[in-house]
Structure formats: structure tokens, C-alpha cells
Amino acid sequence: MDAIDLKAKSAAHPTTTTAGEPFLLTPGPLTTSRRTKEAMLRDWGSWDGDFNAVTAEIRRKLVAMTGGGEAYDCVPLQGSGTYAVEAMLSSFLPRDGKTLVLMNGAYGQRAARTLDYLGRAYVPLDKGDYLPPLPEEVDGLLEADPDITDVFVVHCETSSGILNPLQGISDVVHRRGRRLIVDAMSAFGAVPLTVDEVPYEAMVSSANKCIEGVPGFGFVIARREALAGAEGRSHSLSLDVHDQWAYMKRTGQWRFTPPTHTVVAFHEALLQHEEEGGVPGRLARYARNKDVLVDGMRAMGFETLLDDAWLSPIIVTFFCPADPSFAFRRFYDEIKARGFIIYPGKLTEVESFRIGCIGQVDEGVIRDLLDAVREALRAMGVQECGPSRD
Ligand SMILES: *Cc1c(COP(=O)(O)O)cnc(C)c1O
């Protein structure tokens, strides 16, 4: 392998990486700005007024981002995103209800598994790896089964990168008088989602996705009425969204030790999100990243899993080349040696890999990545990048 000067490479992007650190082209944790990292160089008392003010401001800004006004509130919760999803499911789905779980990948499946653990009734609509659940299908299922009380949907299914047709699904769910809960984990902050258009009961996201913070907590944004109605419903003390909400309202504090450094870093990330122009500003940068990435990869002969209509500005799945010289592990290592971390695929049927468009990266970084891909293919002796045809 040619010698690669990672220090020189990252020096070209001084606002993000430290010398020698690779870019994370992954859907969280992702590359954060220096400013966000530097916010963590201080210790905070979890009960202290200064820290409580940071928590309060984060909650306020997140509700503002949804256009939720007084009708909605935000409840942050310790743990990775999955903890917040489980907390949301256990707190907002009635114990005697029945949920239609829309699945087209790993995160929809994980929600169904969670409901198995919780012992809550559900029916799945499983579209496999790469097809969206369509509003008319949801409509048919709701019409046929009046026992369904709630519908769960993943906004961007990160396992393929597909952006599900949330608006159409929401319209159908509300026309049929059912409730909607949304896993907007990987899209919130970059793909518009406001409660005037999608009036969900609750939605969930986390610190280390499109707001560009570091991992450590998730947050549920829910209608205040639904929050009040969630009292006594969760199976779990630590995942009880109502209890966390009630305690925060009363004391301004988190119930149990908060990830203080993560919280202040997230606050700093939110300020940068505003400075970039909020959701539209972030969407514009990520969409540009996606376009440059997809055009560049296609020009080399790679194919995307999804048709253009379903591609998200969050993460893109590419088929592995059928060329016998290609092996994902070697490809990964070659690209990592050039300063970029990519992501293995999560499809059940075919070999694939994923490249994220989110985090503190711009099209200049994506162009450098494309150079690294070209060099990696040359080093491996890969001639053709098209996938296998069978
Ligand atoms: C990241 C993500 C989650 C949560 O995953 P964690 O690894 O627990 O943070 C849930 N749903 C979606 C769609 C995601 O992208």
C-alpha cells in the first residue's frame, strides 16, 4: 500500500478532525466538530443550576424544531437510541392496545422484538429489505382490523437508507382515527418533521445522529396529553418516560445520573445546527453530500440498492462489486488507511456496504472519499464495480 499521510489529510479539515483521526461516514456515532468536542472539557454537577439550564434549553429548542409549541414536550433519556425507542414503546402504547408495526429493515424489526419482550400485541407489515410501506397498504390494514389502535413507523430506515413515505402514512393513520408513533432517530434535524404535518403522539431521536452530538442519550418528543396519559404504563422504572418527565418538570433535573458531557456537547451542537440554518440548512449540506457521493460512485460503476426516489440524504447502500478481486474487509481497510470509516451492509440477501452522508462532513470530504475509493479499487485490482446479476 502507498504511504498515506493522514496527518496532512486531516489538517485540510481543521474544524473537525484532530490530526490522524479518520472521518466517520457512519450513521452515528459520526464526525463531530471540534467545537462540540471541546464543549466536553469541563465537568458539571448534575444537580447544579447551570447544568439544569442547559437541559431546559435543549428541551425547549428541540420542541421548537418540531413546531410543537405548548402542546408538545421533550423528555431526554439516558442510553443509546434503542433505550429511548423501548421507553417510547412501553410508555405510549396502551397495554391492551394493538400496534401495526411497519417494517422494512433492522430498526422496524427491533421495534417488533421490543414489543415481544414487552408482551404488547402487534401485527407486522414486513416489506423486506428495500421496499417502503405504502400509505394505501396501511389504509387497507387499518380498515380490515379495527382492533389496531396505534401505528409505528421508522422515518429513515437506516439499515438500507430508505426514506419512508411518512407524510402519506400519517395522513392515512389520522384519517382512520388511529395514533402514530415514529422512530425518527436517523432523520430528525435534517429531514423536516413538524407536528402540523405529521401530528404524532410521540417520536424519538438521539444525540449522535443529525444534530451531530456524541452518543449518550436519546429524547422523546410527545404530545403533553399523551405524556400525562402514560403514567403507570411502562414496565420499567429506568425507561419510564412519564416518570422522567414528571421529575424533570418538578426539579429541572434528570432522575438518575445524566451523561453530563454528552449533554453539554449536544447543546453546543444545537447552536451550530441553528447557525447552519436549522433543518433546511442541514438538509441542504447532507443532500449535496449524497448527490456527490452517489454520482461519484455510479461513475465508477457501483450501483445503489434503492431507486433514486427512495434514496435519503442520511446514508446510502451500495452493492458490493461482483468482481472476484473485491472483498469488503480489504476494501474497508484500504479506505480506513486513507482516512475514512465506512459501514458494512445490513441486508439479509445480498452483499452490500453503506456510506453515511451525515456528520461534520461536506462535499469536499466526500470528494476525498471518492479518491480513496478509486485508490482502494486500484490497490485491490478490482476492474468492474457492478454487482452480481443473479
Ligand atoms: C441509530 C438508530 C436507532 C438507535 O440505535 P442505537 O444503536 O441504540 O443508538 C434506532 N432507530 C434508527 C432508525 C436508527 O438509525
Taking residues 105-119, report their average pLDDT: 97
Q: What local confidence, expressed as pLDDT, does residue 1 receive? A: 44
* Domain topology for 2-34+278-380: Aspartate Aminotransferase, domain 1 (3.90.1150)
Q: What local confidence, expressed as pLDDT, does residue 221 receive? A: 98
Taking residues 202-224, report their average pLDDT: 98
Give ranges for CATH 3.90.1150.10 in the chain: 2-34+278-380
Q: What local confidence, expressed as pLDDT, does residue 64 receive? A: 98
Question: Between 96 and 390, where is the model more confident?
Answer: 96
Give ranges for CATH 3.40.640.10 in the chain: 38-274
Taking residues 360-369, report their average pLDDT: 97
Give the residue, by CA position, lying nearest to ligand 1 atom 2.
185
**If you measure from the C-alpha of residue 273 to the centroid of ligand 1, how many angstroms do you get, rounded to a whole number?**
20
Pick the CATH number of 38-274 from 3.90.550.10, 3.40.640.10, 2.60.120.330, 3.10.110.10: 3.40.640.10
Atom of ligand 1 nearest to the CA of 184: 13
Taking residues 366-373, report their average pLDDT: 98
From 24, 89, 107, mutation site for ligand 1 pocket: most ligand atoms within 8 A of C-beta:
107
Taking residues 331-335, report their average pLDDT: 97
Q: What is the pLDDT of residues 37-63, one digit of tens each?
A: 999 999 999 999 999 999 999 999 999
Q: What local confidence, expressed as pLDDT, does residue 19 receive? A: 61
pTM strictly above 0.85? yes
Q: What local confidence, expressed as pLDDT, does residue 347 receive? A: 79
Q: Which residues pair with 154 in a beta bridge?
A: 183
Give the residue, by CA position, lying nearest to ligand 1 atom 5.
81
Taking residues 153-181, report their average pLDDT: 98
**If you measure from the C-alpha of residue 144 to the centroid of ligand 1, how many angstroms do you get, rounded to a whole number?**
31
Q: What is the pLDDT of residues 3-22, one digit of tens each?
A: 556 555 555 665 665 667 89
Beta strands 217-223 and 202-206, pairing class: antiparallel
Q: What is the pLDDT of residues 232-251, one digit of tens each?
A: 999 999 999 999 999 999 99
Taking residues 184-197, report their average pLDDT: 98
Q: What local confidence, expressed as pLDDT, does residue 43 receive? A: 97
Q: What local confidence, expressed as pLDDT, does residue 186 receive? A: 98
Residue 343 — pLDDT band, cuts 50, 70, 90? very high
Q: Is 275 helix (H, G, I), strand (E, B) or coil?
A: helix
Ligand 1: lining residues by beta carbon, under 6 Å: 27-28, 80-82, 85, 107, 154, 158, 183, 185-186, 206
Taking residues 172-180, report their average pLDDT: 98
**If you measure from the C-alpha of residue 84 to the centroid of ligand 1, how many angstroms do you get, rounded to a whole number?**
9
pLDDT of 188 over the 60 cut: yes
| Secondary structure of the chain in HEC code, one letter for each residue | CCCCCHHHHHHCCCCCCCCCCCEECCCCCCCCCHHHHHCCCCCCCCCCHHHHHHHHHHHHHHHHHHCCHHHEEEEEEECCHHHHHHHHHHHHCCCCCEEEEEECCHHHHHHHHHHHHHCCEEEEEECCCCCCCCHHHHHHHHHHCCCCCEEEEECEECCCCEECCHHHHHHHHHHCCCEEEEECCCCCCCCCCCCCCCCCCEEEEECCCCCCCCCCEEEEEEEHHHHHHCCCCCCCCCCCHHHHHHHHHHHCCCCCCCCHHHHHHHHHHHHHHHHCCHHHHHHHHHHHHHHHHHHHHHHHCCCECCCHHHECCCEEEEECCCCCCCCHHHHHHHHHHCCEECEECCCCCCCEEEEECCCCCCHHHHHHHHHHHHHHHHHHCCCCCCCCCC
pLDDT of 190 over the 90 cut: yes
Q: What local confidence, expressed as pLDDT, does residue 185 receive? A: 98
Atom of ligand 1 nearest to the CA of 154: 13
Beta strands 340-341 and 23-24, pairing class: parallel
**If you measure from the C-alpha of residue 205 to the centroid of ligand 1, how many angstroms do you get, rounded to a whole number?**
8
Q: What local confidence, expressed as pLDDT, does residue 350 receive? A: 85
